[in-house]
Structure 1
Amino acid sequence: MTQHWFRLYVQRIDTTRNMARFYAMSIEPDLFGGSALIRRWGRIGTRGQERIDLFKDDAEAAEAIGRFLFLARQKRARGYRPQAHT
């Protein structure tokens, strides 16, 4: 089984509008040998919301990333910038 690791974390902070938001996307293994595309978003400092899409293997999850990268482009156009996240 080949591992296709992917992680994206962007945030937008605008103090004049009291805005501090994040958006995160990652591919992680699930408990059944498949892969999960996990997307999280919300206000920085909160748990936010989460959506998990399950796939049968890493290759299928990596292929799905292509369909979701338009979200990353939209976030960039709206002022989100990549950040290091641990």
Structure 2
Amino acid sequence: MALAHLHRIDPEANMARFYCIDVATTLFGDVSVFRTWGRIGTQGRTSIETLPTLEDAENAASRALRPKVRRGYLPAGQIRQ
């Protein structure tokens, strides 16, 4: 389950992007932050960052989400009015 799934859609600029971030425990007890991004309708690209604790992973996820929200990404399904 994704921690956050965001969309940024601007038809005038032909922009339809997504950004998904998830935090999950590895088999070795570490915690990984999975980031997936790209154009809506594609598989996108994925980045994985492994950290020693859940707190570190959650902080890294929060730091990654802040700029996306500032740039206009909204939760998937939320319509801008």
Q: Which category describes the TM-score, using the shorter chain as reference length?
A: 0.7 to 0.9
Partner of residue 27, structure 1: 23
Give me the TM-score of the superposition, normalised by structure 1: 0.73
Q: SS of the counterpart of 1:46?
A: coil
Give % identity: 38
CA distance 1:75–1:62, shift in 2 (3 Å): closer
Partner of residue 13, structure 2: 17
1:37 and 1:48 mapped to 2: Cα distance?
Answer: 16
Give me the TM-score of the superposition, normalised by structure 2: 0.77
1:75 and 1:60 mapped to 2: Cα distance?
Answer: 19
Q: SS of the counterpart of 1:45?
A: coil
1:43 and 1:11 mapped to 2: Cα distance?
Answer: 9
Q: Which amino acid aligns with 1:72?
A: L
Give unmatched runs, 5+ long, in structure 2.
none
Partner of residue 61, structure 1: 57
State the Cα deviation string for residues 47-80 of structure 1 (Å, max 9, x = none): 11111000123233223334x2xx4232223221
User: What do you get for the CA RMSD once the two structures are aligned?
Assistant: 2.1
Give unmatched runs, 5+ long, in structure 1.
none
Whether 1:72 aligns to 2:68 is no
